[in-house]
Structure 1
């Protein structure tokens, strides 16, 4: 199957940014780093990678819009919008911990159509085009077949930006951890979601993510046969940032567990 030309451009952009990021690993001590908020950092590498991605995309499609983590929104002349996280897992990167990724997605008329998640350290390239399936380095991938929560390996992320979510998050963790095969917190939501698509994780939940954290991974999962919703099973995850993902069976079981858990947590915080 031929690669969609817009996906091909996104792959080129992700690889160029990934090469910059890997080269920067050799001089982490000399990087300029700023704190955007509590436990939320940005480096010159994030900004340079984002600049490279945007230049590559707009060179091919100058009329398209941009939503990028560091530079924000650039309105386009068409209904296409690229959603970019140049370095998802910045804290990992700054510590030399090799779990981070470039994430690029394309929306058209509000619907996700293209997705790239690229791990430059392993050179694993996750891609998807709406209606054409999900792939890892050109090999078709599918979500796992695990159908019982007690056998499921789950991914998650801590609410590091917003401490007000911490108590609710801890309630969900207390509920899911003892009833699963294990929980992993790797520090890059984009990669976690890609791992759901590849069957390496069976389910995932996190609160208060941003669109650029979610966009590419959400399409990957859907094209790999999985499900992505908000905590209540709705489509509000882009606006709320609260995301629940997994294969169909595990998603269903997670949603059931979290429904009871969130009622309890909300009643104690109100």
Structure 2
């Protein structure tokens, strides 16, 4: 999963550097899709499919692939933050693995900053291999929250 997210990040970064020349479409209000979205999803689908050919796959850009083994399903957003991407801002490659109704693993890769967030159910979350810690801050009024617009 991690190697696949990195490969998709490398692919999208080639487009990111020249994003003005790529084909960009609009799916809805402030909902863009680019060549890079489609190419990234195809790369991820191919790599994960080679490793786990019997597992199902749901991406954002193409119809789902339902396999005999419905217990395991990859959930993928090939460019999470396409609006950011087409505007030259940070974005991620998002890959999750579900078993039944539970998400059991995930990887979020920000190729702009080379940050890889990973998690396995029951084993914690990591940033570039370093375990993340939950804040001890209990007062919600003191939390810092970030968001992206639109």
Q: How many residues align?
A: 149
Structure number with higher relative contact order (C-alpha < 8 Å, ≥ 6 residues apart): 2
Higher share of residues assigned helix? 1
Higher share of residues assigned strand? 2
Distance 1:44 1:95, change over 3 A: same
Q: Please give the TM-score of this superposition, normalised by the length of structure 2.
A: 0.94
Q: What residue number does 1:29 align with?
A: 20
Which of 126, 133, 147 is matched with 1:142 structurally? 133
Q: CA deviation at 1:187?
A: 4.8
Q: CA deviation at 1:150?
A: 2.0
Which of 61, 75, 96 is matched with 1:83 structurally? 75
Q: CA deviation at 1:72?
A: 3.0
**Bigger Rg, which one:** 1
Which of 62, 71, 81 is matched with 2:62 structurally? 71
Distance 1:59 1:117, change over 3 A: same
Q: Distance in 2 between matches of 1:67 and 1:38?
A: 23
Deviations 1:245-267 (A, max 9, x none): xxxxxxxxxxxxxxxxxxxxxxx
Q: Distance in 1 between matches of 2:127 and 2:47?
A: 22
Unaligned runs of 5+ in 1: 1-9, 155-183, 189-270
Structure 1 residue 101 and structure 2 residue 63: aligned? no
Unaligned runs of 5+ in 2: none
Measured on the aligned residues, the alpha-carbon RMSD in Å equals 1.3
Secondary structure of residue in 2 paired with 1:73: coil
Structure 1 residue 186 and structure 2 residue 126: aligned? no
Q: CA deviation at 1:129?
A: 1.0
Q: Distance in 2 between matches of 1:187 and 1:59?
A: 36
Q: CA deviation at 1:68?
A: 0.5
- Whether the 8 Å contact between 1:89 and 1:187 is mirrored in structure 2 is no
